[in-house]
Structure 1
Amino acid sequence: MILEKLCEFAETVEDFPPPHFKKRSIDYLIEINEEGELLGFTDVSDEGKIFIYADHLIGRTSQVKPHLLTDKASYVFGNVENEQLTNRQEETKAAFYDLVLELYEETGEQVIYSILKFLENTQGKDYLETDLKNNKWLAFRVNGKDPLKIDSIQKFWQKRQNNIAKEERSDLISECLICHQEKVIADRDPEQFKLISVGGQSGGSSLISANHKSFESYGLSASHISSICFDCAIQYGMAANYLIAKKDHRLKIGDILYIFWTKNNSEFNGFQLLEKPKPNELRNFLKSFKSGKKAYIDDEEFYCLALSANNSRAVVKDWINTTVSNVEKNINNYFREMNLDDNKSEEYYSIFKLAKSTAFISKKNNNIKPVVIKSIVNYAIKGTALVDSVLLNIINRIKADVEFRVTRPRASLLKMYFNSHPEGGIKVKDKLSKKENNPAYLCGRLFSILELIQDKAISANTKIVDRYYGTASSAPASVFGNLIRKAQHHLAKLRKEQSTTGMYYWLQSELEDIMVELNDFPATLSLKEQGLFALGYYQQKAYRPEKDEKEEN
């Protein structure tokens, strides 16, 4: 399914070179006319132009093996630096000419006849620029036209490469799993995935390959374990590398690279907001969802492939197949769930920032768990519930982070977690819910009030949140009795001072409202209850009674 969809995508990209062709920069264009006469050499080395050239299915390494119509000067002319040609230079020049002659005999194209006449008449150094070197890449242009763009010439090279595969790699001919034709099966990935950003080798990483007996089956080794022909292998490799190279089609989170595309390669920028949610673009996206004004087809298929690398191996982490409409709806929900009434400016977070909030990040280490990244991405794209590992990592990070504890990104992620599990019967609202009587939530609220009482009464270097948060959020019964007794002394101080009397009555009222709902302090709290404790603590800290009263009136 994955490789088939990549091959389908390759057919929609107009800029792709045809099978068995690649793109590269060229140093000089040899300009000739129909009579094979030299018009001049055009230096294109600094123009940044990219030209297609015929690539060998099996690399030439040290062999004498010319490319079709585009090659180094040492192949086209033999030697442009000295008068005499070595034996190898004689071979390379003859091989290049023979290949052009074979092409003309097969296609009969007039432009190839013109190139043949040029090669037969030229004496090399008489026609060349003095600064041309043997390692410079040259290509022909006949009356301003690129012969490699002619359909018959492309088919000649593709047919030739497939014949070479049958002759030199004829050990396995079978039905290709993608195109369903009887062809030579690739024994290696001809187009390796460029995954340097996530730990891959500079030369590329193979998606399909077996390098150990335990991975082989039915006597098949290397890429023969998957029956895919060379043409299809080239297509899906080019498609993947195209998506990897395009900013509009990739999203890197930690050590995982997500590439995404639509069936018809239509424009969809909603996914980019998950990487960098720019306020203006996000606002327009959310408005377009609400109004229904979109520039794409809702039911068009949407694909997302998650990749990482283990040196020379490409690793598939996840595969998502849905529709643009579903993705749009889920991304909208992802950002809507970040709404928190906490007296702070409206802020939205990328997937990486949410995942980052669950881990300790240093200059040397990135401890974000892949399962956390994968779950948040699936939530944002597919709308699937966040896994318990996300909750576990949030709770552990809150307990370890003595300085910040429950930050806004962590509170947003906790809200997402609980609201993605409606079967739990817990619906977390944007602001404090005084009707929520869950003991864990109430304990979180109570802890926030006790912290505020201490803060208003005395100036302490070490606050109760620094010393007691971990125990209070996991075993409330063991600490709350002592904390409440201490709070009574602080409340008495607030009551006696005229400047804080009003604060005393409000804190006493909040304390009583919570204690009325709490029949007893739980001995222990489960992982989910610890998450509710954190939300109760955060929302109580963010509570603004004056705004609440205004809304009620």
Structure 2
Amino acid sequence: MILTALNDYYQRLAAQQQVPQPGFSAENISFALVFSAAGEPLQIDDLRIQDDKGKFRPRPLYVPVDKRRTSGIHAYVGWDKTAYALGVTAGDGKRLADEHEAFKQRQRNLFADSDDPELRAFLALLEAWQPPRFHTLPGYHEELLDKNLVFRLDGQQHFVHEHPPMRTLWNETFTVQDSDSGPCLVTGEHAPLGLDHPAIRNVNGAQSSGASLISFNAGAYESYGHKGQANASISKQAIFGYSTALNHLLRRDNDNHQRLTIGDATVVFWAQAADTTQAEAAEMFFKALNEPPTDAQEAARLGSALAQVANGTALAETDLGLAGDTQFFVLGLAPNAARLSVRFWCVNTLEQLTRHFARHRQDLALDPLPWKGALPPIWRLLYAVAPSRDGRAKAEDIPSHLAGEIARAIFTGQRYPQSLLSNLVMRFRNDGDISGIRIALCKAVLTRNARLAAGQQSPIEEMPVSLDPHSTHPGYLLGRLFAELENAQARAIPNTNATIADRYYGAASATPASVFPLLLRNVKNHLAKLRKGNEKDQAIAGAISRSIREIVDGLDERLPKSLKIEDQGRFAIGYYHQTQARFNKKKPSENTETPEDQGDAQ
């Protein structure tokens, strides 16, 4: 399915001339060697492009490629790195002479019988070439060593590999190469089968030279007497199609809007629509869902559209101007030594994909929102799962498996990984960072689990977005109670070095019966101290005392000995809601409550 979708995408790209034809590949080329009609080397042209940061980067050119070069010696036609093409290198050069001879022989085999003047001059250049001359040519500098180069006849605008007679000879050679024929698993057609799958490049964390999406490097992966890539019955055309399309999607160009990074996964996506404009609009919309706009007006527009979709409005009826029946593909890849692993693969209509994001947004909802804009970026959710060290998290601490599972849950509307809740609860207990983004994730897991367990298609208010004084759930009530006990301590001892949250949060959320009796005894001392203070302190003591009494009245007489992981999540949410409700109370001048009722306002 993945290869078929990529091959189909290649056909659309090829029709728009955005990707090379079979037998060619986009390679990074740094310079061109200019030669005369007599085969005399004249100068070096630097082809590199200067980026926004002032750095020079190779220029991508479509050059002839027939197979992937691994550990053996294999020369390309009309281009190569300096060791092959010119016999010069910055390394030890143990195979230098053999590599250079292989390059010359490859060109002789293809062009020896041609009477084209440009190709004859190219062969003359190679036959008379002396490697020491490279250092004497105008334009030479050491940065060119071991870089890829092409060739150009003086006075011509095109390179040798772009010369029509050369391309004709190459295409004839490429298409008549010996190969067994058979049914292609990708296209279903009977065609020449390929044995070499090109390297997939630019996947974060993978080898810089590229990694394999399909490979058979051990006998355990082979069957029915086939060896190596013969175990995958895929035609040459399909191999070229899927690999070219995937490398196109993975390119690191500034204008590539079809690539994302989610944890250690490199994510690519593309759309299939009635026309190119609709497809590009769908892709930009998906990019915005994963990397929400910072502009307030655009963020409000996106949030409004998601709210409409969540309430049942068709995507086409929003002001985004998108076609809901657009087919959408999302592929997540992660490094695995010299190979790649597929983290997730999602195929859906843009309508359904948007509904999944809208539900994800509702599942996360808190009041007030702990982020700006329509949605929190996925990367921010992932950082919330990592350990917080002095209030900061590091990318390398993000659990790799969670990145793919969270993304899959968002894209498909399935359950969030249960390990996400366990991880969050562990983080609450270990680093004490009970932040809004973590609570939103905790709430999302519990809300979605309840909705899917009930078989409902629309979100239910299983977990409130703000303080719910009517909730009778023990975990939620205990979290609220713990927040009030902490508040009493903070009011009575303003500058304490260690709060009860620092000392007892883990035990209180996991084994309430062993901790809360002690805390409830201690709070009497805190409240007594406040009642001996001024009028404001007395009002605060009264407000906290009433709040604690109301919460305790909702609990059973016997506190639970332990809370399961879901209830520990509810404990954290109750704690957060109670704390936020205290912080977000209106100022006294903005309400009609008595001073005693306002006593715990911040």
Scaled to the shorter chain, the TM-score interval is 0.7 to 0.9
> After superposition, where does 1:321-470 map in structure 2 within 5 Å?
321-342=347-368, 346=372, 349-360=376-387, 366-402=396-432, 404=433, 406-421=434-449, 422=451, 423=453, 427-459=462-494, 460-470=496-506
SS at match of 1:437: coil
2:548 corresponds, among 505, 511, 518, to: 511
Q: Which residue of 2 aligns with 1:22?
A: 25
Q: 3-state SS of the aligned residue for 1:266? A: helix
RMSD: 4.0
Find 1:57's aligned residue among 36, 57, 67: 67
Does the CA contact (< 8 Å) of 2:39 and 2:124 recur in 1? no
Offset, 1:218: 0.9
Q: Are positions 1:277 and 2:278 aligned together?
A: no
The structure-2 alpha-carbon separation of the partners of 1:19 and 1:42, relative to structure 1 and needing over 3 Å to count, comes to farther
For 1:336 and 1:256, the matched residues in 2 are separated by 25
Identity %, equivalent residues: 24
How far does residue 250 in structure 1 lie from its aligned partner after superposition?
A: 2.1
Q: Does 1:240 align with 2:246?
A: yes
Q: 1:64 touches 1:95 (CA, 8 Å); kept in 2?
A: no
**Contact residue 250 and residue 258 of structure 1 kept, 8 A:** yes
Q: Is the 8 A contact 1:457 1:494 kept in 2?
A: yes
Segment drifting more, 269-278 vs 203-212: 269-278
5+ long unaligned stretches in structure 2: 50-58, 89-96, 274-278, 309-316, 455-459, 594-602
> Aligned pair 1:530/2:544, yes or no?
no
After TM superposition, the structure 1 = structure 2 runs for residues 57-456 of structure 1, keeping only pairs within 5 Å, are 57=67, 67-68=77-78, 96=107, 99-100=110-111, 113-115=116-118, 131=137, 137-140=150-153, 144=157, 154=167, 156-164=169-177, 166=178, 170=179, 172-189=180-197, 191-195=198-202, 197-198=204-205, 200-246=206-252, 247-264=256-273, 265-267=279-281, 268-273=283-288, 276-280=291-295, 281-289=298-306, 290=308, 292-342=318-368, 346=372, 349-360=376-387, 366-402=396-432, 404=433, 406-421=434-449, 422=451, 423=453, 427-456=462-491
Question: Using a 3 Å threshold, how does the CA distance of structure 1 residues 74 and 382 change in structure 2: closer, same or farther?
Answer: closer
Write the distance in 2 (CA, Å) between the matches of 1:185 and 1:552: 81
Q: Tell me the secondary structure at the aligned position of residue 466 of structure 1.
A: helix
Calculate the TM-score normalised by the size of structure 2: 0.75
Equivalent residue for 1:107? none
Query: In structure 1, how many angstroms separate the alpha carbons of the residues matched to 2:521 and 2:385?
Result: 34
TM-score, with structure 1 as normaliser: 0.81
Pairing partner for 1:476 from 490, 504, 512: 512
Residue by residue over 1:184-235, the C-alpha shift from the partner in whole angstroms, topping out at 9 and shown as x without a partner, is 433332x21225522x222221111122222211112322221112332222
Q: Structure 1 pair 15/222, CA: closer, same or farther in 2 (3 Å)? A: same
Q: Answer yes or no: is the 8 Å Cα contact 2:305–2:320 preserved in 1.
A: yes
Q: Classify the secondary structure of the residue corresponding to 1:375.
A: helix
**Using the alignment, how far apart are the partners of 1:462 and 1:78 within structure 2?**
70
C-alpha distance in 1, partners of 2:401/2:99? Answer: 56
TM-superposition CA deviations, 1:40-85 (whole Å, max 9, x none): 97864245354322223375998796615x5789999999xxxxxx
- Aligned pairs, number: 524
CA deviation string 1:120-179 (max 9, x = no partner): 999979xx9972689963035886456866888656534422422x1xxx4x53211123
SS at match of 1:314: strand
Q: Distance in 2 between matches of 1:238 and 1:509?
A: 68
Relative to 1, partners in 2 of residues 1:385 and 1:93: Cα closer, same or farther, differing over 3 Å?
closer
Give the stretch that moved more between structures: 90-99 or 438-447.
Answer: 90-99
* Native 8 Å contact 2:29 2:48 kept in 1: no
Q: Which runs of 5+ in 1 are unaligned?
A: 80-85, 105-111
217 and 95 in structure 1: CA distance in 2 versus 1, 3 angstrom threshold:
closer
